[in-house]
Amino acid sequence: MSSLLLPLHAAVPMKSQAGERFSEFYDKWICQLDVYLQQLLNVSKETAVIPTEADKQALVSKLTTHYKEYYTVKWAAAHEDVLAFYCPVWLSKLENAYSWLTGWKPSMIFGMVESMRRTRVLPGGTGLGSGLAELTEEQVRKIGQLRVKIKLEEERVEREMERQQVAMADRKIVELVRMARRIRNEQVVDGLVAVAVKGMLAGLERVMKAADCVRLKTLKGVLDVLNPSQSLDFLAGTCMLQIQLRKWGQRRDSQKGGLVTPELHNNLIF
Each residue's pLDDT tens digit, 214-260 = 999 999 999 999 999 899 999 999 999 999 999 999 999 988 754 44
Confidence of residue 42 (pLDDT cuts 50, 70, 90): confident
Q: What is the average pLDDT across 193-212?
A: 89
Average of per-residue pLDDT across 57-80 = 95
- High-pLDDT (> 70) share of the chain, %: 76
Amino acid (1-letter code) at residue 86: Y
* pLDDT number for residue 249: 93
Read off the pTM.
Answer: 0.80
Averaged pLDDT, 158-178: 82
- For 139-152, how does the pLDDT look when each residue is reduced to its tens digit (9 = 90+)? 999 999 999 999 99
Q: Tell me, what's the pLDDT at 190? A: 66
Residue 253 backbone zone (phi > 0: left; psi -120 to 50: alpha; other: beta): alpha
Question: Using 50, 70 and 90 to split pLDDT, how confident is the model at 131?
Answer: confident
Predicted pLDDT at 133: 85
| pLDDT classification of 135: cutoffs 50, 70, 90 | very high
Q: How far apart are CA 59 and CA 46, in angstroms?
A: 15
Q: At what angle do helices 171-182 and 186-225 cross, to 10 degrees?
A: 150
Q: pLDDT-based confidence at 54, cuts 50/70/90?
A: confident
Q: What is the DSSP letter of 52?
A: P
CA distance 107 to 130: 22
For residue 110, give the H/E element and its range: helix 107-119
